[in-house]
């Protein structure tokens, strides 16, 4: 079986198929030349009467928008939201050297009708969240590529395409059509994985071409990705050639799980070369857009000195990075690149020649396994390009963008090209229902959640740690770039208004959380910050996650956040809300269950004590909600406190909690203290006890005296062994609290000659004192060894 040569030899065929690789300068140049030359011909039936382009057919009634004076690159953005809350979007990018763009612009200049003929993306959605519909995935997946690369001595698909179609500036239209048709036909013949989606698209495109045939009497020019051209040609000659084409509309139902589309849209959006470059973007098509843009620009002027221009840009990039390349180095690069180009049979110095020239002429060190180097990075930066698109004034925008702009302007928050910072004072104003500063903060947090570029919180109160709440404030930075526009348009996938989109974004994130109650609770914080207080579905999801949480630490942190929301957060408007109370009760109950099955963990004692403290604090601060759990809480604490297999710190924490709740006698606390009197255990036990019963321990004379007695009974070596853990235990106390302990000790002893100040103001640092004790211990040990001291001398 062979390709029908008519597809590339009959230039006057009623339907002329022009195969392209998306974003190919050669294809763009030749399709523009074809349309202009044939339109200028005086021969009958030579100018095409219609130009059909692979593009989203649901944009046909808005093609005039593509003729506005945009700054390229831009893209058509199509998005869809299904009933099962899945949101997907796709891009159709255009740059100056895209063949689709040149065909559209050239045909429009000559008043030739243009139509997009591809199946609307919303009708062929797949599992991908974001897709580039002008990618080369179908071309790259054939085994034929590997064989052809070996035969032509090139490294990969991109180099293969360049060799066949891009490098030679004198490539003619006839040569291009034959090469591209042959190449893409062989790729398709050796591809066993033609997708159902591709078949459905091709069946739809055939329908569109047939409809155009009925409408236009002259030649029709069809511009599609080369992978589809031969299949469309064959289907028009023999409709049976597309084996069992799927019924239109069946595929979306299968892929979407029979979920109907609840919202969809399509709009123009700014794009940029970073996203177009397949070195940095997903499934993007041809790499190095900056390089191919330079190729396009030079060949439009007839220049062939592309390499010199690019090398000058590389030098500028290197200088900005403080990397120096001498004139001799640059001459060496140019000479080496020219030699490699000649050796490889390139008509001009090409991408690979310049890269290898830089490696050979500038890189004098081993690049290591990563293959990176500042000189090489500068080359790739130039090859990537910096062009950023911008839509022309008056371009229709999705409803979300209009709403977003109106809200920003009303609050005087619209970003400009000049960066500016604003400070918001969020201190609760009891006289105002909705303080302006809080309204501004909520809008900016919504845009942060929607990932709108140019809006960023740079400083202010940390609502996640709840520290330093003396002043409630935020600092935001606002800065307009083209990415602000593109990200705003792309956020339209979530809804038509800022509030609607924010709720949808929060719901999407909630659905992605599987078993992490803390993450979900922080999402509740994000909702509150954005002023969203009607997220009942999200609350139901959070209850489900709390009930499924199997990690005590995560659950305890979640409980801590919920308690803060419920008790204190007047700023965010969550205080005393019923759904927060319900979540708090659920989290406390689940926390008790996890505490009961805690086992004997090691390595996380401090975090576990904090978790235990979170349970105790919740009960103390929201006892009116949690009273039904009191007996269960006490039973679990009692069981943990009596478990001799449990870690000393955890037992200490459990006893401390029982002490705070008034459920354990002092005799039991002191008995457990004596149980852990060994130097290697005492500090750990006190760490747990102090952390949970911090206030109570400072002024209890029985406990302070008992600790003092244990320490006085230690030998020097035992004291030194116990000291590190003891210092850690007492580090939980602030200076004022240590003063309270010293005062309790002085008042409880008969050491009248000592005062609290004497104990606290010892003119030695702790480290010096430890060193002194260790030195004295060694010294007196030597004296005892040689019998220099008497028996009572050690009692100093």
Q: Identify the pLDDT of residue 433.
A: 56
The larger pLDDT score, comparing residue 194 to residue 367, is at 194
Is the predicted pLDDT of residue 178 greater than 90, yes or no?
Answer: yes
448 and 370 both lie in a single domain: no
Q: Which of 349, 336, 343 is nearest to 305 (CA)?
A: 349
DSSP 193-219: ---HHHHHHHHHHHHHHHHHHHH-SS-
Residue 638's nearest CA partner among 613, 661, 670 is 661
Residues counted in the chain: 796
* Mean pLDDT confidence for 145-169: 92
Are the beta carbons of 56 and 76 closer than 8 angstroms?
yes
pLDDT at 733: 87
The neighbouring-strand residues paired with 468 are none
DSSP H stretches of helix in 411-497: 436-449, 482-490
Asked whether the predicted pLDDT for residue 576 surpasses 90, the reply is no
CA dist 267 and 92 (Å) reads 10
pLDDT exceeds cutoff 90 at 714: no
Q: Predicted confidence band at 254 (pLDDT cuts at 50, 70, 90)?
A: very low
How far is Cα 717 from Cα 789, in angstroms, rounded to an integer?
19
Whole-number pLDDT of residue 377: 83
Alpha carbons within 13 angstroms on the beta-carbon side of residue 581 total 10
Write down the H helix ranges in 92-220.
Answer: 99-109, 137-140, 143-152, 157-161, 173-189, 196-215
Comparing 774 with 64, the larger pLDDT belongs to: 64
Packing angle of the helix pair 648-660, 666-675 (nearest 10 deg): 170
- Could you tell me if 129 and 257 lie in one domain? yes
Rounded distance, CA 167 to CA 143, Å? 24
Q: Are 360 and 242 in contact (CB under 8 A)?
A: no
How far is the C-alpha of 504 from the C-alpha of 554, rounded, in Å? 25
* Residue 307 pLDDT level (bands cut at 50, 70, 90): confident
Return the pLDDT at 572. Answer: 75
Distances (CA, A) of 764 to 9, 30, 494, 767, 778: 98, 87, 64, 8, 20
Residue 88 sits in the same domain as residue 217: yes
The strand order across the sheet containing 74-82 reads: 130-132, 87-94, 74-82, 261-270
Who contacts 517 (Cβ-Cβ below 8 Å, separation ≥6)?
Answer: 542, 545, 546, 549, 554, 555, 558, 587, 590
* Mean pLDDT value of segment 168-196: 89
173 pLDDT higher than 90: yes
Token pair, residue 565, equals 């929301």
Q: Which residue has the higher pLDDT, 233 or 375?
A: 233
What pLDDT, on the 0 to 100 scale, is given for residue 127?
44
Q: Would you say residue 622 lies in a domain?
A: no
Q: 462: which DSSP letter?
A: B
Range of the domain at 455: 399-498
Structure tokens, 54: 């692979």
Burial of 153 (0-12, 13-18, 19+ CB in 10 A): exposed
Compute the average pLDDT of residues 640-665.
94
Same domain, 131 and 47: yes
Residues 6+ apart with CB under 8 A from 520: 510, 513, 541, 542, 545, 546, 558
How large is the average pLDDT for residues 347-361? Answer: 89
Residue 686 belongs to some domain of the structure? no
Q: Is the pLDDT of residue 284 over 60?
A: no
CA angle 616, 621, 622 (to 5 degrees): 100
Q: Do 236 and 310 share a structural domain?
A: no
Kindly indicate the confidence band of residue 319, based on its pLDDT and cuts at 50, 70 and 90.
confident
Domain's final residue, options 470, 498, 526: 498
Give the pLDDT of residue 196. 84
pTM of the model: 0.80
Work out whether the CA dihedral 687, 688, 692, 697 comes out positive or negative. negative
Quote the DSSP letter at residue 416. -
pLDDT digits (tens, 9 = 90+) for 15-42: 999 999 999 999 999 999 999 988 877 5
Exposed / middle / buried, residue 683 (Cβ in 10 Å: 0-12, 13-18, 19+): buried
Q: Which residue in 485, 471, 340 sits closest to 402, CA to CA?
A: 485
Strands (E) in 555-710, as ranges, are none
Confidence band for 773, pLDDT divided at 50, 70 and 90:
low
Residue 425 lies in a domain: yes
pLDDT confidence band for 252 (50 / 70 / 90): very low
Contact criterion met (CB below 8 Å) for 213 and 221: no
Domain membership of residue 427 (yes or no) is yes
Residue 552 has pLDDT above 70, yes or no: yes
pLDDT band at 44 (very low <50, low <70, confident <90, very high): low
* Domain final residue pick, 498, 531, 548: 498
Q: Which two tokens stand for residue 739?
A: 């003063």
Q: Are residues 253 and 352 in the same domain?
A: no
Q: Is the same domain home to 67 and 115?
A: yes
First-last CA distance in the chain: 107
Is the distance from CB of 721 to CB of 679 less than 8 angstroms? yes
CA distances from 524 to 512, 513, 531, 535, 556 (A): 14, 13, 11, 9, 16
The pLDDT of residue 761 is 61
pLDDT of residue 129: 47
Residue 337 scores a pLDDT above 60:
yes
Q: Are strands 87-94 and 130-132 parallel, antiparallel or unpaired?
A: parallel
Q: Is the pLDDT of residue 200 over 80?
A: yes
**According to the model, what pLDDT value does residue 256 have?**
43
CA distance 620 to 673: 25
Secondary structure of 518-579 in HEC code, one letter for each residue:
HHHHHHHHHHHHCCCCCCHHHHHHHHHHHHHCCCHHHHHHHHHHHHHHHHCCCCCCCCCCHH
Identify which of 117-131, 491-505, 564-578, 720-734 has the greatest average pLDDT.
491-505
The closest alpha carbon to 543, from 484, 504, 586, 597, belongs to 586
For the stretch 46-78, pLDDT in tens is 678 999 999 999 999 999 999 999 999 999 999
Under 8 Å between Cβ of 673 and 703: yes
pLDDT band at 336 (very low <50, low <70, confident <90, very high): very high
Q: Are residues 327 and 416 in the same domain?
A: no
Last residue of a domain, one of 384, 408, 436: 384
Establish whether the linkage from the previous residue to 711 is cis, with ω within 30° of 0. Answer: no
Most confident by average pLDDT, 21-35, 274-288, 326-340: 21-35
Beta strand 50-56 with 87-94 is unpaired
Average pLDDT over residues 538-560: 90
Domain assignment present for 144 = no
Annotate 730-768 with DSSP letters as a single string: HTTS-HHHHHHHHHHHHHHSS-TT--HHHHH--SS-HHH
Contact 276, 93 (CB under 8 A): yes
- What does the angle CA 615 – CA 697 – CA 602 come to, to the nearest 5 degrees? 50
* pLDDT (mean) for 382-408: 95
Domain membership flag for residue 114? yes
Task: Choose among 313, 283, 341, 371: nearest CA to 90.
Answer: 283
Q: Is the pLDDT of residue 431 over 50?
A: no
What is the three-class DSSP state of 190?
A: coil
User: Can you tell me which residue has the tokens 């019923």?
Assistant: 578
Q: Which of 368-377, 594-603, 653-662, 766-775 has the highest mean pLDDT?
A: 653-662
Residues 88/79, Cβ–Cβ less than 8 Å = yes
The stretch 736-743 carries a mean pLDDT of 83
Please, what's the b/e burial string for 540-572 (b: 16 or more CB within 10 A of its CB; e: otherwise)? ebbbbbbeebeebbbbbbbbbbbbbbbbebebb
- The answer to whether residues 28 and 233 touch, using CB atoms and an 8 Å cutoff, is no
Does residue 245 sit in the same domain as residue 354? no
- The two structure tokens encoding residue 638: 């009692």
Q: Give the pLDDT confidence score for residue 197 in this predicted structure.
A: 84
Cα(687)–Cα(93) distance, integer angstroms:
61
Residue 358 confidence (pLDDT) above 80? yes
- Most confident by average pLDDT, 239-253, 290-304, 537-551: 290-304
Residues 82 and 218 both lie in one domain: yes
pLDDT of residue 243 exceeding 70, the answer is no
- My answer on whether 218 and 83 are in the same domain is yes
Contact yes or no for 483/270 (Cβ under 8 A): yes
The CA distance from 154 to 344, in Å, is 9
Six token digits for residue 533: 């207080």
Query: Does residue 106 belong to any structural domain of this protein?
Result: yes
**Is 275 in contact with 387 (CB distance < 8 Å)?**
no
- Please state, rounded to an integer, the average pLDDT across all residues of the chain: 85
pLDDT in the model for residue 551: 92
In a domain, 59, yes or no: yes
Contact present, 382 and 314 (Cβ < 8 Å): yes
Q: Is the pLDDT of residue 281 over 80?
A: no
- Domains in the chain: how many in total? 3
Q: Are residues 23 and 108 in the same domain?
A: yes
């Amino acid at each position: 079986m062979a390709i029908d040569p008519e597809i590339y030899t009959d230039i006057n065929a009623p339907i002329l198929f022009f195969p392209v690789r998306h974003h190919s300068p050669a294809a763009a140049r030749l399709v523009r030349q074809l349309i202009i030359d044939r339109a200028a011909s005086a021969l009958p039936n030579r100018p095409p009467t219609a130009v059909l382009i692979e593009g989203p057919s649901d944009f046909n009634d808005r093609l005039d928008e593509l003729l506005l004076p945009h700054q390229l690159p831009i893209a058509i953005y199509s998005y869809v939201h299904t009933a099962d809350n899945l949101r997907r979007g796709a891009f159709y990018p255009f740059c100056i050297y895209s063949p689709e763009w040149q065909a559209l612009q050239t045909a429009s200049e000559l008043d030739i009708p243009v139509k997009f003929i591809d199946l609307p993306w919303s009708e062929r959605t797949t599992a991908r969240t974001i897709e580039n519909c002008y990618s080369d995935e179908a071309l790259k997946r054939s085994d034929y590529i590997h064989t052809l690369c070996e035969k032509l001595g090139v490294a990969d698909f991109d180099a293969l395409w360049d060799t066949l179609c891009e490098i030679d500036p004198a490539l003619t239209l006839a040569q291009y059509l034959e090469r591209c048709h042959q190449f893409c036909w062989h790729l398709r013949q050796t591809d066993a994985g033609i997708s159902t989606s591709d078949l459905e698209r091709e069946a739809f495109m055939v329908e569109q071409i047939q409809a155009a045939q009925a409408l236009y009497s002259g030649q029709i020019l069809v511009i599609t990705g080369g992978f589809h051209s031969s299949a469309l040609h064959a289907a028009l000659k023999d409709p049976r050639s597309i084996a069992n084409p799927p019924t239109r509309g069946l595929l979306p139902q299968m892929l979407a799980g029979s979920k109907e589309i609840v919202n969809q849209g399509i709009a123009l959006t700014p794009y940029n070369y970073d996203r177009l470059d397949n070195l940095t973007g997903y499934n993007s098509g041809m790499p190095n857009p900056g390089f191919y843009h330079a190729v396009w620009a030079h060949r439009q002027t007839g220049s062939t000195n592309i390499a010199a221009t690019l090398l000058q840009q590389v030098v500028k990039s290197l200088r900005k990075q403080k990397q120096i390349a001498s004139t001799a180095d640059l001459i060496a690069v140019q000479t080496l690149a020219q030699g490699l180009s000649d050796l490889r049979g390139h008509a001009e110095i090409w991408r690979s020649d310049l890269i290898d020239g830089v490696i050979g002429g500038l890189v004098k060190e081993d690049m290591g396994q990563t293959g990176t180097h500042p000189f090489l990075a500068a080359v790739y930066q130039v090859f990537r390009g910096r062009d950023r698109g911008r839509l022309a004034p008056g371009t229709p925008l999705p409803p979300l963008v209009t709403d977003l702009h109106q809200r920003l302007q009303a609050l005087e928050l619209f970003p400009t090209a000049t960066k500016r910072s604003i400070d918001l004072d969020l201190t609760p104003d009891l006289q105002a229902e909705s303080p302006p500063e809080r309204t501004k903060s909520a809008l900016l947090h919504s845009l942060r959640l929607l990932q709108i570029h140019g809006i960023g919180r740079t400083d202010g109160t940390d609502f996640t740690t709840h520290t330093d709440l003396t002043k409630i404030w935020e600092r935001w930075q606002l800065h307009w770039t083209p990415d602000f526009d593109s990200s705003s348009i792309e956020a339209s996938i979530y809804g038509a208004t800022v509030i609607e989109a924010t709720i949808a974004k929060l719901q999407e994130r909630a659905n992605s959380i599987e078993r992490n109650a803390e993450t979900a609770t922080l999402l509740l914080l994000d909702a509150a910050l954005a002023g969203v207080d009607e997220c009942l579905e999200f609350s139901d999801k959070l209850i489900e996650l709390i009930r499924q949480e199997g990690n005590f630490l995560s659950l305890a942190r979640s409980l801590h956040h919920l308690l803060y929301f419920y008790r204190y957060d007047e700023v965010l408007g969550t205080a005393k809300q019923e759904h927060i109370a319900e979540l708090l009760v659920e989290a406390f109950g689940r926390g008790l269950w996890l505490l009961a099955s805690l086992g004997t963990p090691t390595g996380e004692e401090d975090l576990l004590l904090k978790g235990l403290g979170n349970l105790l604090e919740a009960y103390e601060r929201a006892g009116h909600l949690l009273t039904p759990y009191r007996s269960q809480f006490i039973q679990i604490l009692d069981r943990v406190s009596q478990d001799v297999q449990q870690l000393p710190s955890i037992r200490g924490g459990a006893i401390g909690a029982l002490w705070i709740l008034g459920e354990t006698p002092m005799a039991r606390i002191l008995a457990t203290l004596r149980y852990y009197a060994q130097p290697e255990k005492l500090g750990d036990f006190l760490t747990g006890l102090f952390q949970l019963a911090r206030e109570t321990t400072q002024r209890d004379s029985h406990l302070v005296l008992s600790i003092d007695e244990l320490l006085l009974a230690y030998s020097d070596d035992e004291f030194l062994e116990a000291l590190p853990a003891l210092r850690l235990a007492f580090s939980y106390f602030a200076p004022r609290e240590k003063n309270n302990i010293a005062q309790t000790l002085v008042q409880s002893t008969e050491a009248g000659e000592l005062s609290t100040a004497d104990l606290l103001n010892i003119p030695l640092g702790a480290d010096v004192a430890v060193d002194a004790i260790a030195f004295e211990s060694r010294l007196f040990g030597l004296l005892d060894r040689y019998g220099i001291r008497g028996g009572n001398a050690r009692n100093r």
